[in-house]
Chain A
């Protein structure tokens, strides 16, 4: 069974950088044919995809956020990471990591709430 777990600060100050890591178990990022993605959900709102990364480091991003989002992967730790720069209150959301196979996400983490506030 594939399991994903998000980790990182739950509170980030405005204008700073949000950083989260997703640790994968039950699958090996380095040998997987899947991409690994990040999705967020502001309180009471819908889902928004941020981007996805392959084990090789190849990435693709949501065009509306591309200038502020960076994804990376660490196959030695079986982890992948998200950075969002210059955050504002609008970036307050539950952030999910998920395994991404072409047209769908089949396994999701439990999500972590990140609040942007001074």
Chain B
């Protein structure tokens, strides 16, 4: 089972960034998203498609339509530049390949 993410996404400060994650039958699974900055551990930013853990800014949101889950960052800030990974459960844990978000 595989989850596909774009290798890179670029966004201007203050604009909206969208990162997609697609996979066969993802529509009947929950997706979650992690942010990872260089040298640091991944941080959960969205779980169960749309839920935001305590302490995660409201500009991070998730959605899920069909076999595609999307992480949206509204009003992107320079501090949001990081690698983002989606993850789902399909009898095993599966991670997407990661997307490098660049804030130009």
Q: CB within 8 Å of B: which residues of A?
A: 37, 39, 46-49, 52, 60-63, 96, 100, 102-106, 108-111
Q: How far is the CB of A20 from chain B (nearest CB, A)?
A: 15
Which B residues lie within 8 Å of A46 (CB)? Answer: 85, 95-98
Which B residues lie within 8 Å of A108 (CB)? Answer: 41-43
Having A47-B85, A103-B48, A104-B44, one finds 7 other A-B pairs with CB under 8 Å, namely A46-B95, A47-B95, A63-B92, A103-B32, A104-B47, A105-B44, A109-B41
Q: CB within 8 Å of A: which residues of B?
A: 29-30, 32, 34, 41-44, 47-48, 53, 85, 87-89, 92-98
Which B residues lie within 8 Å of A37 (CB)? Answer: 93
Which B residues lie within 8 Å of A96 (CB)? Answer: 41-42
Which A residues lie within 8 Å of B98 (CB)? Answer: 46-47
Q: How far is the CB of B31 from chain A (nearest CB, A)?
A: 8
